[in-house]
Amino acid sequence: MNYNNIMKKKRFYAHLVETSSITVELADMELSQEERLHLLNLVNSNIHNSVLETVLSNLASEDKKIFLANLHSNDHDKIWSHLKSKIENIEEKIKESIEDLKKELQKDIAEAKKAI
Amino acid sequence: MCYYFYRMDFKKPHYRHLAEKWAKRNENYIQKLINEHKEAFEWLAQNTKKLAISSLAGLFIISSPLIAKLTPTTVSAEKSIDRNVFLVSDLSHVLPDEVGPLSEFREKEVEEILERTFKLKIKAQLNGIRLNTTYGKIGAEQHLSRYPGDNIVTHLDSEEEAKEYWSAGMAPGLGGWGYFADSQSETTEKEKMREKYYIAVQAFLAPGFNEDRQRYLDFFKFRKMLVVNPHNGKAVVAVIGDAGPAAWTGKQLGGSPEVMKYLQRYDGRQVRGVLYFFIDDPNDEVPLGPLE
């Protein structure tokens, strides 16, 4: 099993994400490697889309396009210099959205554990 | 239905619970993103066509389901994005970094992506037979003699072909199944296409081969396969026309000069991976050659 593909593309917000608590929770459940990998991929997709939502909701129309173009070219420096110039405390905002999502995901895991 | 739900009906209830819930949440995010930032995504969809596929392959991080969900006003823009972009993007999420056999789970995901993209019945295993891998490194093969007396001069039909494919040369021996036709006069377009678009696979390494060699050889002979370069999305329908390469080469299959050229795959130090799956085509309806 190759877990590298889960985070094959380093996201611009990678330094703000810490998902070990979820990984540990999943490691604790009776799951096959494939199932675990699938769930971790879903966690990453959810985080990615949650970050997109946070960023886009804080940008004006033309800046959204600039952001998407930068995102598309995966130029982390450009992404951050643009975002920092347009959104106050953007790193905090992204962190907060990720933490909120993680709480939801952990709640889901607790529910799922009851089903075991 | 979201493909995350694929074959979850028989899975553990806690896995199913989480997978369904998280896939649903993801879908909701995507829907919200589209509803609230449609203009920006439409702009992206219209502009990505100007970017090279090679750059999209590794960096297209907006999920294709998101783009695919854009409303009808975006359809023309969506169409203008090369289908290959979606394919490359989708495959990049499921293929491992290293070329090699895929797990059954991954194979199913790849099958689903290829079926959805090409509208063909794609199988890693057909009639109970599978190859040693479905994701392997492809090397360059030479032209094969189609009939007794076929040589490099008779082989190439036009000046253009000669210019393009002369240098590949003729293989010194015959393909794994002998000539494609008994004589030049009996060589039809079908045989010509089979030789043009052939691959060599390690039939001898197929699980179970040694237990029932004749059945396996009959099955593999000119069996249609879909061969896909996962890095540029180029795909070709080819037949198994030869057996090889030897295991020690480090390659798992070979492609005719025409297959290699179309897929933009090269031998030597540039050997890289392709996906190759059987096409379930009992009535011989799928034409050979590139899938444009």
Q: For B86-107, write each residue's pLDDT tens digit.
A: 687 778 778 888 999 999 888 9
The domain of B210 spans: 116-290
The domain of A61 spans: 20-114
Q: CB neighbours of B29 closer than 8 A, spacing ≥ 6?
A: A46, A49, A50, A52, A53
Q: Name the token pair of B32.
A: 């919200």
Residue A74 lies in a domain: yes
Cα–Cα–Cα angle for B66, B18, A15, nearest 5°?
A: 65
Last residue within a domain, chosen from B81, B102, B137: B81
Decide: B232 and B251 in contact? Cβ < 8 Å.
no
What's the confidence (pLDDT) of residue B75?
38
**Record: contact B17-A46, CB cut-off 8 A:** no
Please provide the distance, in angstroms rounded to a whole number, between the alpha carbons at the two ends of chain A.
25
- Does B277 lie in the same domain as B151? yes
- Does B120 lie in the same domain as B69? no
Which CA distances in Å does B277 have to A78, B133, B135, B258?
40, 9, 9, 18
Q: What's the pLDDT band for B283 if we cut at 50, 70, 90?
A: very high
- Does B164 lie in the same domain as B50? no
- Under DSSP, the state recorded for B285 is -
- Does B133 lie in the same domain as B74? no
- Closest-approach residue (CA) in chain A for B62: A72
Instruction: Spell out the alpha helix ranges (H) of A1-116.
Output: 20-27, 33-57, 61-72, 76-86, 90-114
Nearest to B144 by CA among B188, B196, B201, B219: B196
Q: What's the pLDDT band for A1 if we cut at 50, 70, 90?
A: very low
Residue B186 lies in a domain: yes
**Record: contact A46-B39, CB cut-off 8 A:** no
Number of domains in chain A: 1
Residue B88 lies in a domain: no
Q: What's the pLDDT band for B158 if we cut at 50, 70, 90?
A: confident
Chain A residues in contact with B14 (beta carbon < 8 A): 29-31, 112-113, 115-116
- pTM passes above 0.90: no
Number of domains in chain B: 2
As a whole number of angstroms, the distance between CA B149 and CA B161 comes to 19
Decide: B243 and B254 in contact? Cβ < 8 Å.
no
- Does B261 lie in the same domain as B169? yes
- Does B207 lie in the same domain as B76? no
Last residue within a domain, chosen from B81, B106, B127: B81
**Record: contact A2-B97, CB cut-off 8 A:** yes
Distance from CA of A18 to the nearest CA of B (A): 18
**Record: contact A112-B14, CB cut-off 8 A:** yes
Residue B276 lies in a domain: yes
